[in-house]
Structure 1
């Protein structure tokens, strides 16, 4: 599965680096190590974690041009994304943004956030997702998922999971009201400028 546009390179992701007309400087496959770095010819270890492919290509180009080449043309691709970043907020014990190797389901994401608080409304869980530059939202009921009456959806990189809602965040209330009772149906969100 190729990563979405704007994907930030994560730990254990497999990437390729192509330096055009310089096959000895290109790397067909390299894995981002636990320190967030990759090893490249001439440059040694360079940080890849947290960069988009365009940002990393620019960094490599700058380093090559400053010491070794005149006008390096560099391309970076993610071959196999292993790390996914997602955010859990609302009525969870430890809200935050998490980056983990591998894929994660909605229940696993809530567990990584150390579970729900006593105030959480398990029927009011919304996953926000960006697809082709548009924001979508889907409503889920954790009780139904836990009892195996509903599927535990797989999250994608960059998803935002909101468990219940803060009184201060009116947009979430509006979206929750607009979402149909059918769980797991992603609908586009109208964004006002």
Structure 2
């Protein structure tokens, strides 16, 4: 009985660990954009560390010794490498840099919801949850005519979505009217 219990606990711990790793891997591929908030830590250099930095509308930020840094479309790891390259040699010897995403840019819900507008993104968000954040459907809403424009889609083409569709930062969701 004890062996069975311990084996179940071990399986649960492994599942939780792999789930967290999967999210961390997804986060490492996340492309930064306008409105994201990052932190920059330069180990041993508190004057160069920034605890909270919101990217501008152009997707950039100002950083000491480097000036304006273009972060749009780059990952946190890309920014780390850029800062290391910029600070190495002239300013620091072998800088150790960590860039973390503190806050993701908003997603937007419009159309037939009770409270249209921008909402803060949280990992694991689905269209069903996004609609709930926007106050739910109006009485005229169609639960089958929902479209998403992905922020990372350069063509900005609306695509059909279901209630279980994953939402990403910067997405624009439109809920159409039902005819009946």
TM-score, normalised to structure 2's length? Answer: 0.50
Alignment match, 2:64 = 41
Q: Indicate the structure with greater helix content.
A: 2
Alignment match, 1:114 = none
Alignment match, 1:184 = 163
Inter-CA distance 28–156: structure 2 relative to 1 (3 Å threshold): farther
CA RMSD of aligned residues (A): 4.3
The yes-or-no answer on 1:162 pairing with 2:156 is no
Whether the aligned pair in 1 keeps the contact of 2:149 and 2:159 (CA below 8 Å) is no
SS in 1 for 2:100: strand
In structure 2, distance between residues paired with 1:68 and 1:25: 11
Alignment match, 1:89 = none
Give how far 1:44 is off: 2.2
In structure 2, distance between residues paired with 1:77 and 1:157: 21
Alignment match, 1:103 = 107
Alignment match, 1:25 = 48
- The counterpart of 2:141, out of the listed 141, 145, 148, is 148
The yes-or-no answer on 1:77 pairing with 2:77 is no
Alignment match, 1:59 = 82
Inter-CA distance 186–15: structure 2 relative to 1 (3 Å threshold): closer
Q: Which runs of 5+ in 1 are unaligned?
A: 83-101, 109-130, 132-143, 164-182, 188-193
In structure 2, distance between residues paired with 1:4 and 1:155: 21
Q: Any idea what the Cα deviations from partners look like across 1:133-186, whole Å, max 9, x if unmatched? A: xxxxxxxxxxx99942428588887589535xxxxxxxxxxxxxxxxxxx5346
In structure 1, distance between residues paired with 2:28 and 2:158: 20
How many correspondences in the alignment? Answer: 119
TM-score, normalised to structure 1's length? Answer: 0.47
Q: Which runs of 5+ in 2 are unaligned?
A: 1-23, 113-123, 125-136, 167-180
